[in-house]
Structure 1
Amino acid sequence: MPRGITNMERFDLLPVLRDGVQVRYEGSIDKQGRNADWDWWLYRERDEWVIFDVDGPGCIYNFVQHRYPESREPTFRFYFDGEEAPRFEIKPSEFGSKAPFVAPLADAYLGPEDNGRGPIRVVRSFVPMPFAKSCRVTTDLRLKGPNKGDGGWGHIVYHAYDTADEVRTFTGTESYDRLLDMWRNVGSDPKPTAPSDAHAVERLELRPGESTTVLEERGPGSVEAIVAELAHAKPDDLMNVWIRATWDEHADADVECPIGVFFANELGIHPVGVLSHGRRPDGTFYHYFPMPYWRSARIELVNKGGEPVTFARWETRTTTARNALYEEGRTGYFRSTPYYRAKATHGADSVIGRIAGRGHLVAGHVTGVTRKPGLISCEGDVRVHIDGIATPQVESDGSESWVCYGWGFPTPPEMNPSSAYDGLPDNPWSMVRLCSGDWYPFQSELVFGIEAGEFNNQYIRHSGALFYYGVDEPGLTLTDELDIGDPASEGIHSYRTSGSRGYYTLESYYEGDDDHRSIRDTGHEIEGWSEFVATVHPENAGVRLRRRSDQMTGRQKANVYVDGALVTERSWYAADRNPYKRWLEDEFDVPAAYTSGKSEITIRLEYVQAGETRAWNEFYYWIYSLK
C-alpha cells in the first residue's frame, strides 16, 4: 500500500503497527528554552530561507505558519528528491483554495483583535506530501520576530521512513477526493462501510457508585463505533462517568477515562468534534477509532460522581468483517493512558502520559486551568520524547500551536477535522489533536509533556489523556554502546578514524524539560571518517543508531556504511543547530537488508561537508536492534 495519502484514507488500518517509521518535527522553537518561539529558518541559500531540510524518504503531514496580516506575504516553495527547481509553490492567501491545498485539508484561520494583541493569521495544512529521496521547504522572506510586520513562525510535522518502498513523491496533481470526502463529513464514520451488529441500551440510568456493562463479546472482532446520547448533558456528567474497556481479558483495563475525554469534550462547555471522536451539534457523542480484539471485549460505564446520570441511548457497534486486516501481534490494542488528573507541577512539564511497549499515538487531550479567569495560559510548549531519546522528537511553539491554532485560545470553540479546542477565552481551555496521518510511532516508550507557561513559570493545572494503539512487548533492544573518549570502550569496539581534528570536552544542556541539567562529555571531531564494530541481535529487523553530538553548528552530515556497503536510502543529516543548548541526540535507522542475520556489524561514518560545518562530531553511540 502506498505510504502517505493512502495511509490517511484508510482509517480502518490505524490499528496496524508499521515498521520503519519515525515521527519528526521542525519549527520555530526558542533555542534558549524560553518563550521566543518565532524565528523559523535553518539557513539561507541564495535568495531563499530554508525552513525544512531532510534527507531520505518520508512524508510531510502537517504544515503550519503564523503571521500578522501586516507582514509581507511569503511564498513557500517545496523541493523534492534533490531537484533544483521547486515542484510546488504556495502563498498563505492560497491555503484553502489552491489545489490540492483546499479546505478542509488546508485552510486559514484569522484570530480576533483580542485587545490589540491580534489579529494573527494561521495557515495550516494536513495534505500528505510524500517524498522518496529528500525534501526541502523554503520561503522568500526570513520568518522572524514577534512584532507586527515580522514574518512569523510555524512548524512541520513529518514521518521519516527507513526505505522508499511504496513511496511516490508528491507532484501536486494527486487526487485527494476520497480524503476530502472523509474530512467534509465530521461526525460520520470515516472508515469504509462494513457489516456490523448494534448493541444498544435505551434509557440507561447510572446511580452514584454504580457500574454497568454495555458490551460483552466472545471471539474475535472489532468495535466499530460508539454513539451516546445523554438525557441532560452537564459538564460534571462528562467527568463523573467513566468508560472502562478491556480487550482479551487483560488484567488491567485498556481504556479507562472520563467519557468527556473519550468523546473529545473534557470540559464540556461547548460541543467540539474531530474526525475520530467528538460531539455533534445536536448533542450526540461519537467515537470511531477501530478497536480490535481476538478473544473477548468488555465495555463498562462507571458513575464516580454523587448524582445519577441518565443516557437516552448508548450504542456500541461491533464487526467481524475487518478480522482479516488485524493480525494479532502486528496490530495494536486501542488504549488510553491513565487519566492525568488536574494538578500543577511547579518548575517542570506536566507529563500527561507515559506509554510503554510498542505502538503509535493517535490522539491527545490536554486541559489547562489557572487560578484566575481570563489569564493568558497558552504559552507552554508540548514536548514528546520517544524511546528514551533526550532530545524531544515533537515540540510546539505554544500550547495552541500543537492543535494548529495561534494566539492562544481567545475564541472557543474552534474546530477542524484534525484538531479542536473548547473553553472560555484563554482560561480554562481544553484541546484535542487527532493524528490520523502523523501518528507518533514508538518502539519502547513515549512520554508526552507540556510546559506551564513560557518556561514552566506559571501556575497551571493540566489534565488529560492520550489514545494510542499498542502492545506490551517492546520493538527494540539496546544491544551495544560506544563511549567516545573512553579508551576501553573505543578499544572494545575497534574504534578508529581518519582525518581527526582531535578530542574536546563539552559541558552543556539538552533542549526540552531537562534543559537545566548540565552534562559533561568528551567527544571527537573528524574531517574524514570514523569506524567501529557493534553488536546486534542476529534476528534483527534493522538497526537504529543513536548519537550524542554537539549541535553548535548546523547541517551535520555523514554517509553511513555497514560492512562496507553504503546505505543508499539516506545520509545521516541534521540540518538544525543550537548554540545554547548544544547537546543533541539524533538517530539513523539502518534497513534490515544491511543487518539481518548478523550478530556484529562494522559501521563507518564518512563526513560530508554541508553548510557551515567543517567536521563530524560524536560523543556517544547507542546501538539498538529492531525486532
Structure 2
Amino acid sequence: MNGKTAFIGLSISFIVLGTASGAITLESLLEEMVDRDTIARLPSPAYTCKQASSYDRHSTEPGSPTWWANMDRSYFVRVEQNDGRTEHVLMDAEGPGAVVRFWATWHGPGGGEFSNGTMRVYLDGNPEPAVAGPIADLISGGLLVAEPLSRGVSPQTPYRNRGHNLYLPIPYAERCKITYETDVLIDEGAHKGEALYYQINYRTYEQGTKVESFSSDILRRARGAIGRTQAMLSQPRPFGLDDLDEGTLEGRLSPGRERSITIKGAKAIRGLQFQLKADDLSQALRSTIVEITFDGTRTVWCPIGDFFGTGYHIRPHSTWYTDVSANRILSCRWVMPFQKQAKITIRNLGSQRVELTYGRVQSGPWDWDERSCYFHAAWKQWSGIETQSNEKTRDHGAFDLNWITVQGQGTYVGDVLTLFNTANAWWGEGDEKIYVDGESFPSHIGTGTEDYYGYAWCRPEFFESAFHAQPSGDGNIVAGFSVNCRYRALDAIPFRESIQFDMELWHWARTKMDYAPATFWYARPGATWDVEPNVDEARRSIALIVEDIIKPRRVEGAIEGETLKVADRTGGVTEVQDIAQHNWSGNRQLWWRHAGENDRLVVEFPIDEAGDYNMTLGLTKAIDYGIVRIAINGETKLDSFDGFNRSVIAVDVKLPTCRLQKGTNRLEVTILGSNPEAVKSYMFGLDYILATKRSK
C-alpha cells in the first residue's frame, strides 16, 4: 500500500492568489463557496450536479420490489487492474467538472477494524494520480486540508461511528476517476468483506468551460485562498457588521395576528434576525410563521423554528447560513433578491400570545438580471405517520415521501428535517432520491438519511459545521426529538425544468412519528411547487412525549408487567422497556434479556381473593425472542410458547384455568431455546397479566 502523501497547505491569508484567466480553478471555487450572492443567481458557467454513491445496485426501478434494496455499501462503478493493483472505482465522470463534496464511513470485515486502504484520484486520463493516500486521512484526517473543509462529526462520537466529510473542491478539465484499493476482502454489499459507504457530489460544466485541474502544486499555490475560506467558514461574520439598510419587526402578536415590514426597490434581503418570547416557546416556534412575498408572489411559508434550523426546540448551533444563539436569537444570512418590493410577515397561528422581542431585517442593493432568482422555502408535516406498515411485504415497510417538487428553473440549496420518534429504534434507514429535469432514475440516490446529513450509524451526538449539523439527535435511537440540517454551496443542485426531492422513510420499528421537512431553493420568476401552506399542521400541538402521538392502550383491570416485582432471576437482566408501538398496554413492558437456555425468571403479582381464574398474558414476539415455558404458582400452564416473529408484535395469550391464592402469586418463565430462524438472544417480554375470577 502507498504511504501518506502530504498535501497540506493551511496558512491563513485574506488575499486571493492569481488564477488561470477565465478558468474555473481551485481558488475560484473556494471564493464561490463563501460568496453568498453567487447562489442567488443561476450558475454561470452552467453545470449539473450529480452524485456517485455506494447505493445497493439492486435498486433498479422506482416502486419495484427491489427498489428498497438496502446493502448500501461496497458497491462500485467497476473493478479494474492498474499496474497489478486491484482498484475499485467509486466515480468515473467526464468533465469539465469538479468534485465538491465527499462523504464516507467504513468498517472492516465483520464490523472489525477498517484497513484504511488507498484512495486515488486520477484526472484527465493521467495514469498517475493527482491525489493518493489513506482514504480516512484524505477525507477527514487533515492530509489534504484541515477543518472545517475536512470534517468528521462530533468528537464525542466514537471514531468508528463517525461520518467523514470533505468539502475541498477538486476541479478537473476533462475527466475524474476515483478508486479505492485495499488488501482485505471486498464483496458487493459487504456481506463478508470490508464495508465502504460513500457519497460523492460532483459538478459537470457545459462543454467548452475552461477548468484548471487540481494538483499538489496548485494546492500549495492556493494556501492563501484556503486559509481565507477556512477562517470564514469557522467564524461566519456576526450579524450586523455589513453596511446595510436595517428595519425592525418587533412587538406583540396576539393569536391570529401578524406583523409585517415592506422593503421597496431593486434590493436583496441579506439578513433576518428574530427572538421570540412565549409561555410555551416550543409551540410558538412551530405555530409562528415566516412568510415572505417577493414582487407580489409568496415564495416563503415556514414555521420560524424550522426556517432557522432549530425545529420546535431552541438548540444553539451555527452554520454558514443560519445561527441559533444560546440567548434564543435566530439568525440567517440567505441572500434574497427582488426587483421591486419584498414583504416580510411574521404570523401567529397559535392560541397563545407571542412577543417578537427582537427583530431585524437587513437589506442592500441588488442588480437584478436574467440570472437572478427568488428565494423559496416550503414546509410540510406528516403527523402520526405509520412506519413499517407493510413489514410482511417485500418492501420491508419502506416508502418514499415527496418533500418537494418544483417546476421551473432554479437551484436546490438545502433542507431541515424535524421529527419526533416514538420508538427506541433508528428512524432514518431510508435514502434520498433526487430527480432533476424529469429523470426516470434519480441522479442522486443515497445510502441512508444520516449519511445525507453528514453523520453515520444513527449516532445521536450534537455536531455543527458550515454545511451540515445535528442540533439535536435526542430521538435518533430512543424516543424523542431530532433535527438535522444540510445546506448546499458548491453542491447546490441546478435544474432547468424541474426537481423532485423524495426521501425514503424506513424506520426500524413499526410505530408512528411526526416527520416535518423544510426545503430551500432559488428559482426564476414563474416557478411553481407542490407544497401549499398548511395552517392546521402548523397549529397542531407539538409532540413532547410519546403519548402525544401514540395514546396508550389500557387493558381494563390488568396488572402492568412493568410494575411487577422480580422475585428471582437465574440469568440475564430485567428492565422496563418503553415500547410505544403495536398497541402495548401503557406503552411499556417488562423486558428480560441477556439470559440463556434453562434460565428462569419469577415475578410476583397480587390477587385480592382466592379462587379459579381465567388468565390472559400480554406477551411480545420478535425476531430475537426465545421459546419459553410458563407456570403459575408452580403449575405449568404453557408447555412451550414460541416468541419468534420476523417483526415485533404484541399478542394476547390465554392460559388454562389457574388456581390463585389471596395475596402474592408467582409467574415463572423458563427459557427452553429458540426457533431455528430466530436470532439467538432468547428475549422475553411481559406486557400485562389479566386475571378474571371465574363464576361458579
> What is the TM-score with the length of structure 1 in the denominator?
0.68
- For residue 96 of structure 1, report the CA deviation from its aligned partner: 4.3
The one of 487, 507, 513 equivalent to 1:434 is 487
- 1:89 matched to 2:142: no
Aligned to 1:337: 378
Q: 1:282 to 1:170 in 2, by over 3 A?
A: farther
Aligned to 1:462: 515
Taking the TM superposition and a 5 Å limit, the aligned residue runs for 1:288-299 are 288-299=333-344
Distance across 2 between alignment mates of 1:162 and 1:393: 17
- For residue 120 of structure 1, report the CA deviation from its aligned partner: 1.7
- 1:29 matched to 2:60: no
Aligned to 1:622: none
Distance across 1 between alignment mates of 2:77 and 2:350: 52
- 1:420 matched to 2:469: yes
Q: 1 or 2 for the larger relative contact order (CA 8 Å, sep ≥6)?
A: 1
- For residue 473 of structure 1, report the CA deviation from its aligned partner: 4.7
- 1:228 matched to 2:274: yes
Distance across 2 between alignment mates of 1:375 and 1:55: 41
Aligned to 1:390: 440
Q: 1:364 to 1:2 in 2, by over 3 A?
A: farther
Distance across 2 between alignment mates of 1:256 and 1:292: 17
Q: 1:409 to 1:269 in 2, by over 3 A?
A: farther
Taking the TM superposition and a 5 Å limit, the aligned residue runs for 1:571-582 are none
Aligned to 1:259: 304
> Given residue 71 of structure 1, which amino acid in structure 2 is its aligned partner?
F
User: How big is each residue's C-alpha offset from its partner over 1:458-503, in whole Å with a ceiling of 9 and x where there is no partner?
Assistant: 755421121111024579xxxxxxxxxxxxxxxxxxxxxxxxxxxx
Contact kept in structure 2, 1:110 and 1:122, CA below 8 Å: no
- For residue 189 of structure 1, report the CA deviation from its aligned partner: 5.9
> Given residue 218 of structure 1, which amino acid in structure 2 is its aligned partner?
K
Contact kept in structure 1, 2:154 and 2:463, CA below 8 Å: no
Distance across 1 between alignment mates of 2:414 and 2:72: 24
- 1:453 matched to 2:488: no
Taking the TM superposition and a 5 Å limit, the aligned residue runs for 1:555-570 are none
| Secondary structure of residue in 1 paired with 2:273 | strand
> Given residue 465 of structure 1, which amino acid in structure 2 is its aligned partner?
A
Aligned to 1:101: 145
Taking the TM superposition and a 5 Å limit, the aligned residue runs for 1:607-622 are none
- 1:311 matched to 2:356: yes
> What is the TM-score with the length of structure 2 in the denominator?
0.62
RMSD of the alignment, in Å?
Answer: 2.8
Contact kept in structure 2, 1:352 and 1:366, CA below 8 Å: no
User: How big is each residue's C-alpha offset from its partner over 1:437-472, in whole Å with a ceiling of 9 and x where there is no partner?
Assistant: 110111111111111116998755421121111024
In the alignment, structure 1 segments of 5+ residues that lack a partner are: 476-627
Larger Rg: 2
> Given residue 265 of structure 2, which amino acid in structure 1 is its aligned partner?
G
- For residue 281 of structure 1, report the CA deviation from its aligned partner: 3.5
| Secondary structure of residue in 1 paired with 2:438 | coil
Distance across 2 between alignment mates of 1:306 and 1:428: 23
- 1:59 matched to 2:98: yes
Q: 1:389 to 1:333 in 2, by over 3 A?
A: same
Aligned to 2:322: 277
User: How big is each residue's C-alpha offset from its partner over 1:30-83, in whole Å with a ceiling of 9 and x where there is no partner?
Assistant: 122322111232222221221111112111111111013712112211111111
> Given residue 270 of structure 2, which amino acid in structure 1 is its aligned partner?
E
In the alignment, structure 2 segments of 5+ residues that lack a partner are: 1-21, 59-67, 390-397, 529-696
> Given residue 439 of structure 1, which amino acid in structure 2 is its aligned partner?
A
Q: 1:231 to 1:146 in 2, by over 3 A?
A: farther
Q: 1:312 to 1:256 in 2, by over 3 A?
A: same
Number of residue pairs aligned between Structure 1 and Structure 2 = 460
Distance across 1 between alignment mates of 2:154 and 2:473: 18
Aligned to 1:161: 205
User: How big is each residue's C-alpha offset from its partner over 1:382-410, in whole Å with a ceiling of 9 and x where there is no partner?
Assistant: 11111111111112211001111101142
Q: 1:424 to 1:443 in 2, by over 3 A?
A: same
Distance across 2 between alignment mates of 1:458 and 1:22: 39
Contact kept in structure 1, 2:423 and 2:509, CA below 8 Å: no
Q: Which is worse superposed, 333-342 or 177-186?
A: 333-342
Distance across 1 between alignment mates of 2:237 and 2:452: 22
